[in-house]
Amino acid sequence: MVQTKGYATHDASAKFGPFDFERRDVGDSDILIDILYAGICHSDIHQAKGEWGNSTFPMVPGHEIIGRVKQIGSSVTKFADGDIAGIGCFVDSCRECVNCERDVEQWCIKGCAQTYNSTEMDRSTPTYGGYSKHYVIDQEYALTVAADQNLEGIAPLLCAGITTYSPLRRFEAGPGMKVGVIGLGGLGHMAVKLAAAMGAEVTVFSTSPGKEEDATGLGAHHFVVTRDPKALKPLAGSFDLLIDAVSAEHDLNMYLDLLSFEGKLVLVGAPEKPLPVNSFSLIVNNRSLVGSGIGGIRETQEMLDFCAEHNVTADVEVINITQIEEAYDRTIRADVRYRFVIDMQTF
Ligand SMILES: [Zn+2]
Ligand SMILES: [Zn+2]
């Protein structure tokens, strides 16, 4: 076994401290990475606080991981020692079901092995996430990352990046297309950067007037303050695609009404309570309300390659390992522009 250590919480208090544990031995097709950076995703906070009802403790969260390859198994061809590797939200899947065959391993019918708060495919070995020194993962489930980039800004691409890239690609964001991004947080800021890099005309919808300058800096062409619903009226029927990254309660109908013929509103945020939808908000203009969740390994690699080519990284605030709780509090207050990333060298 590989001895390692992480920062774990032992119950839903989400109080973190050092935790010694073991990773599996490096198998023939495995790589061992030294973790350099781990992003803090809002879902880490939900899980660490037991808010989704499926938490197992001790928990080492973290599924936005960038590391340097330290050891490779005998049959590994995708990585060499010293390469940079990324790990996202899952680390294995059954590899034979219809969804694994379709390259959407995140929807593996048998259930994929999530990066933490889950188990390996043996359904017994617990998985621990990226707030740790090392990870052992099959090469097929690790992503290749060019080393000559701002690596702390790459870490959040592994969840926030792919979560927004996938629906933008699926609905063909590009030149001539009007894309709206609802909510400018961790996910929203990636949606703006990616949609702009794809060539779309991007509008940000936000409740915070103070974010206009940020939105423009991220690549948005227009900014709409949504505190007054009247501000949306003149925009009715004018958007091809809306990426809804809001995780609080909000009025979906107000946004659906902005969609043009066959326009789509994609939910990537996850509000706790159900959101009411008026039938006519969908019937008019043959609109669609759809969901999207991360992406498979093939698409995640495509996203990383796209970001490298277009110089897209997340805007991050790098913290020490001892600042996790403070970062959680600030993330909950939306007081971060736009993602916290833990520098694992501080551990
Ligand atoms: Zn995440
Ligand atoms: Zn499967």
pLDDT reported for residue 194: 98
- Of all ligands present, the nearest one to the C-alpha of 101 is 2
39 CA from centroid of ligand 1 (Å): 9
Those residues of the chain that have pLDDT short of 50 are none
pLDDT reported for residue 114: 98
pLDDT reported for residue 230: 87
**If you count them, how many residues does the chain have?**
347
pLDDT reported for residue 345: 96
pLDDT reported for residue 35: 98
Give the C-alpha separation, 253 to 240, whole Å: 15
pLDDT reported for residue 87: 98
269 CA from centroid of ligand 2 (Å): 25
* Among the listed residues 311, 305, 299, 313, the one whose alpha carbon sits nearest the alpha carbon of residue 167: 299
What is the residue whose two structure tokens read 């913290």? 319
User: In this structure, what are the phi and psi dihedrals at residue 308, rounded to the nearest 5 degrees?
Assistant: -65, -45
The answer to whether residues 220 and 245 touch, using CB atoms and an 8 Å cutoff, is no
- Of all ligands present, the nearest one to the C-alpha of 331 is 1
pTM for the whole structure: 0.96
Specify the pairing of strand 222-225 against strand 201-206: parallel
The answer to whether residues 267 and 289 touch, using CB atoms and an 8 Å cutoff, is yes
- Of all ligands present, the nearest one to the C-alpha of 268 is 1
44 CA from centroid of ligand 1 (Å): 7
210 CA from centroid of ligand 1 (Å): 26
pLDDT reported for residue 271: 87
* Among the listed residues 90, 270, 260, the one whose alpha carbon sits nearest the alpha carbon of residue 162: 90
- Of all ligands present, the nearest one to the C-alpha of 270 is 1
Q: Which residues pair with 92 in a beta bridge?
A: 113
160 CA from centroid of ligand 1 (Å): 6
The 222-225 sheet, strands edge to edge: 222-225, 201-206, 178-182, 239-244, 259-267, 288-291
